[in-house]
Structure 1
Amino acid sequence: MEQDDRRTRTTVSLINYHFVFCPRYRRKVLVNEVEERFKERVTEICEENEWVIVAMEVMPDHCHLFLNCLPTHSPSDIMAKVKGVTSRRLRQEFKHLSHLVSLWTRSFFVSTAGNVSSETIKRYVESQKTRG
């Protein structure tokens, strides 16, 4: 019986990741058709993995991606999938990118965000002993 309970548990969470990542050498390659295809590819990847795109902004030399996902997906795994798939497919599709070994740098920025501020959480935690 206990084993059945574990299989039916649902994870409830609100984890939002803000990623910023850049093409190698900060090349301004995310323009025109490349930008459009990149957005389409990222949307496909996110749908396949059940990640919700909260916001996405693509600049010629970097990208901001704000995602909501379950805690079972680590930021490193998310970036590996997004950067790996988009690099391979965009280099296959666009001749002027095909000479690049990789489209992206190995690094990225990530931060977490939620619907409440750190100060709100701190007040909530501190007030727990005084609650009735």
Structure 2
Amino acid sequence: MSYTTGCHTIFHHRYHIVWTPKYRYKVLRGKIRERIHAIVRQVCKEMGVTIVSGVLSTNHVHMFVEIPPHIAVSYFMQRIKGRSSRKIQQEFPELKKRYWGQRFWARGYFCTTSGNITDDIILQYLEQHSDKD
């Protein structure tokens, strides 16, 4: 496991994030797919988020990213989904028939953290330290 360093921090915050287009339509193909790929990379670069791995399926997006501690996952997702939705709908007007209401992405997203330890190990660790006090 490698840690990332900031000015006053050392961290290893990795998240598996999944989100889908509205109605889970299979529209992430061709030029739309390429454009979303470029927009996501651009937003990650601007925010200092490292993409460990990512997959664009036809009806959902998987990303494994490392997000610095000063950025909330919800803020990161707001920027990714907001910017990509706006730009995709501007650049591909044919999507407006299918995605009315100015929203390309479905509400919400799935997110889980990555790590080498389980909840049980953390609880055991905390119990050991509470006995010493």
**TM-score category, normalised to shorter length:** 0.7 to 0.9
Match of 1:117 in 2: 117
Q: Percent identity?
A: 31
Match of 2:57 in 1: 59
Match of 2:72 in 1: 74
Q: Partners in 1 of 2:120 and 2:83 — Cα distance?
A: 38
Q: Partners in 1 of 2:54 and 2:121 — Cα distance?
A: 27
Per-residue deviation, 1:20: 0.6
Asked if structure 2 preserves the Cα contact closer than 8 Å seen for 1:24 and 1:103, the reply is yes
TM-score, scaled to structure 1: 0.81
Per-residue deviation, 1:62: 0.5
Residue ranges of structure 2 left out of the alignment (5+ in a row):
1-5
Per-residue deviation, 1:31: 0.6
Residue ranges of structure 1 left out of the alignment (5+ in a row):
1-7
What are the equivalent positions in structure 2 for 1:88-107 lying under 5 Å apart? 88-99=86-97, 100=99, 101-107=102-108
Q: 1:121 to 1:83 in 2, by over 3 A?
A: same
Give the secondary structure class of the aligned counterpart of 2:105. coil
Alignment match of 1:33 (pick from 31, 34, 37): 31
Q: Partners in 1 of 2:124 and 2:11 — Cα distance?
A: 17
Asked if structure 2 preserves the Cα contact closer than 8 Å seen for 1:91 and 1:97, the reply is yes
Q: Partners in 2 of 1:82 and 1:24 — Cα distance?
A: 15
Give the CA RMSD over aligned residues.
Answer: 2.3
Q: Partners in 2 of 1:65 and 1:28 — Cα distance?
A: 18
Give the secondary structure class of the aligned counterpart of 2:11. coil
1:22 and 2:20 aligned: yes
Per-residue deviation, 1:95: 2.0
